């Protein structure tokens, strides 16, 4: 792999202020792409941009605050990003949110929130980025889904439904654009060392009385490697799907989970 294989490409990463999104932004910058960091917290994005500028010499990056659940905000932010760095060649839909509740206690508000952020957000971003990709006859869309998009998990029915929707949307759009130079794939991490998982650990400790080490072991138990996935490992899969030589990868949902899902 050429280290700067994405030179000249413009990537936009949602949920880029921390965790998997931050790692994806770094991986794409290291491969030569110009990167727009997108997310709801402008201060967090600015801090992430400053850190990335120190980590990656010569990095070209900018920030676009947005809420992926707001269609008009997405269109405005994507237009601003394109005006700065040119059309968006690579879209990484990473913004997500997970809230747990038994099905009987999953109310309409929780249901709609999980769909708005995890599924509709990806939809809005793809609609905003796709026209430029089709015009150029080159593009990469990578949706960061979850193993929850491939199998079921207890107590997160709304999140599981949304992530299954992301996987289905990935497959459908991949077929529509297959002959137009654009690929659409999903990366499906298992439990990853992110703020969302740390919150899940805190909830387990609070509700069950287990120690943090016991709670961590419980989450890691589903991974045959008996550990949490690292953000950089997810980012590596995302970056690979964006490379020119990955053009035959289309409509795939790749589990990054140590063998949990096969």
Active site residues: 159
DSSP string, 21-63: HHHHHHHHHHTT-EEEEEES-HHHHHHHHHHHHHHSTT--EEE
Side by side, which strands form the sheet with 182-189?
61-65, 34-39, 10-14, 90-93, 139-144, 182-189, 253-256
What is the C-alpha to C-alpha distance for residues 130 and 184, in angstroms, rounded to an integer? 10
The helix/strand/coil state of 130 is helix
DSSP string, 164-198: HHHHHHHHHHHHHHTTTTEEEEEEEE-SBSSHHHH
Indicate the pairing of strand 34-39 with strand 182-189.
unpaired
Which tokens go with 134? 């089709």
Query: Phi-psi category of 73—alpha, beta or left, where left has phi over 0 and alpha has psi -120 to 50?
Result: alpha
């Amino acid at each position: 792999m050429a280290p700067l294989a994405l030179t000249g490409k413009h990537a936009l990463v949602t949920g880029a202020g921390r965790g998997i999104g931050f790692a994806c932004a770094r991986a794409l910058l290291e491969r030569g792409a110009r990167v727009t960091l997108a997310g709801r917290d402008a201060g967090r994005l600015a801090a992430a941009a400053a850190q990335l500028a120190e980590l990656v010499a010569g990095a070209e990056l900018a920030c676009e605050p947005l809420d992926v659940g707001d269609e008009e905000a997405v269109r405005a932010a994507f237009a601003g990003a394109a005006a700065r760095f040119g059309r968006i060649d690579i879209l990484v839909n990473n913004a997500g949110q997970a809230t747990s509740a038994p099905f009987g206690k999953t109310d309409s508000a929780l249901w709609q929130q999980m769909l708005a952020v995890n599924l509709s957000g990806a939809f809005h971003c793809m609609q905003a980025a796709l026209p430029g990709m089709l015009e150029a006859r080159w593009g990469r869309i990578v949706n960061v889904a979850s193993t929850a998009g491939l199998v079921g998990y207890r107590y997160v029915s709304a999140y599981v439904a949304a992530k299954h929707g992301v996987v289905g949307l990935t497959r459908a759009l991949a077929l529509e654009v297959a002959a137009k130079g654009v690929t659409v794939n999903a990366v499906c991490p298992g439990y990853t060392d992110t703020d969302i998982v740390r919150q899940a650990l805190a909830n387990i400790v609070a509700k069950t009385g287990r120690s943090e080490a016991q709670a961590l072991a419980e989450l890691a138990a589903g991974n045959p490697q008996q550990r949490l996935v690292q953000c950089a490992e997810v980012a590596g899969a995302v970056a690979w799907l964006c490379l020119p030589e990955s053009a035959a990868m289309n409509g795939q949902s790749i589990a990054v989970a140590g063998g949990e899902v096969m």
